[in-house]
Amino acid sequence: MFIYMRICQLHNEYFFKGGEDKVVEAEKKLLTKKGHKVFQLIRKNIDEIKSIKDEFKTLNNLSYSKKSLHILDEYFSKNELPDIVHVHNIFPLWTYSVFDYFKSNKIPIVMTLHNFRLLWKNVGLFSNKENSRYGLFKNSHLKTFILQKIINKKKKLLLNVDKFIALNEFAKKKFISVGIPSDKIVIKQNFLENDEVDSDKKKTNRKINFISSSRLSDEKGANVLFEAWENLEYELILFGDGPLLNKCDNKNIKFFGNQEFGIIKNYMHESYALILASKMYEGGLPLSIIEAFKNNTLVIASNLGSMKSEIKDEINGLLFNPGDSKSLKERIKWAVKNKDLCKKIVKNAKYEFLSKYTEDENYNIIINIYEKLILNK
């Protein structure tokens, strides 16, 4: 039975658009296509944080923003309340105050846990203690401590969330470990829209080159890539920007900067393998990996977090030791040497995509969450 819903998506965009923003837009498009009314309340860092003064004001209100309450009051004084609100990112502009607002109006709240901020450190979790410095805010222990105290002050408002969405089993276990009840967490993977899927025939004629798309920073493994590519003759196409952009002069590494995902996809479809060298835990499987699964591009990834959880070595991808350029180089050479085995690996990855990462699979999960909360409120 179809239940028509008015769904509010609430989200905070970062200065640079990333995977979370793509997921929000994809879910809106999917739910709209299925006949529901979806409206978005989105605040953007680029619009509201333009000076040092703005930054300090934002930090001062990081746990509870009265401005957010005012924005919501003003909007819903002119518009009907939704049947359900789906919260994505709330920091740094929306804050925990949004949970107070919707709970007081008896609106069911769903929140997707795109990253590990709720666990603290500030940006993410890392594979070992040496890498914990990447979780520091502004590279300062003092500022990190202050920021943590501010955020934790109102963290109890998370209890107002009716259902959390974790992006895989690994993430779910991490959130349970910090006190979120297991019965409040549902797993729903990210997904890709239904469009043309690459054919197996296309894959066989690809030249031996590699592609990577991520921020060019230490925590994302840029140095690991640079070191691995010493004395390799294969071409590496790098998408992304960051502090390590000009730290490599290898003639076989081509830098393309930040590009729209559609452009990256086109290059990926012609590449032999996608490499993700991150040293940090990701909230979910990156969309670039899902795209590679879908379109017969081999995946070579760090053996940690969500990637370790979803990629089985030499079954649906290849894994290497996080932060270890020698291990990555060995996997690259193995992939080139064992082309027939890699054809089987990408076929397994395609099956993985069809069983877990399609629109239909995701719609069934998300609409089931919404219906249960609306009918039981």
Q: Which domains does the chain have, with CATH numbers?
A: 6-192+358-376 (3.40.50.2000), 200-356 (3.40.50.2000)
- When pLDDT is cut at 50, 70 and 90, the band that residue 134 belongs to is very low
In this predicted structure, what is the pLDDT of residue 125? 35
Higher per-residue pLDDT: 198 or 224: 224
- Torsion sign, CA atoms 84, 290, 194, 25: positive
* pLDDT score at 138: 52
Of 70-79, 104-113, 116-125, 213-222, the range with the lowest mean pLDDT is: 116-125
pLDDT in tens, 49-106: 889 888 888 878 878 899 999 999 999 999 999 999 999 999 889 999 999 999 999 9
| pLDDT mean over 263-277 | 94
> Is the pLDDT assigned to residue 137 strictly greater than 70?
no
Higher-confidence residue: 1 or 196? Answer: 1
pLDDT at 363 over 90: yes
Kindly state the tokens that stand for 306. Answer: 């969500």
- Whether residue 277 contacts residue 327, with contact meaning beta carbons closer than 8 Å, is answered with no
Q: What is the DSSP code (8-state) at residue 197?
A: P
pLDDT for position 130: 34
pLDDT computed for residue 98 by the predictor:
96
Flag whether pLDDT at 124 surpasses 50: no
In the predicted structure, residue 45 carries a pLDDT above the cut 80: yes
How far is C-alpha 275 from the chain's CA centre? Answer: 16
Average pLDDT over residues 190-207: 65
How far apart CA 275 and CA 273 sit, in angstroms, is 6
- How much of the chain exceeds pLDDT 70, in percent? 87
Q: Above 70 in pLDDT, residue 183?
A: yes
Counting Cα atoms < 13 Å in the Cβ hemisphere of 263 gives: 10
Percent of the chain with pLDDT over 90: 63
Mean pLDDT, rounded, for 12-29: 87
Please list the residues that pair with 235 across neighbouring strands.
209
Q: What amino acid is encoded at 116 in this protein?
A: F
Between residues 20 and 303, which one has the greater pLDDT? Answer: 303
For 84, residues 6+ apart whose C-beta sits below 8 A from its C-beta are 5, 6, 7, 8, 107, 108, 109, 110, 370, 373, 374
Q: Are 322 and 266 in contact (CB under 8 A)?
A: no
Q: Which helix or strand (DSSP H or E) is residue 44 part of? A: strand 37-44
Task: Give the separation between CA 302 and CA 277, rounded to whole angstroms.
Answer: 5
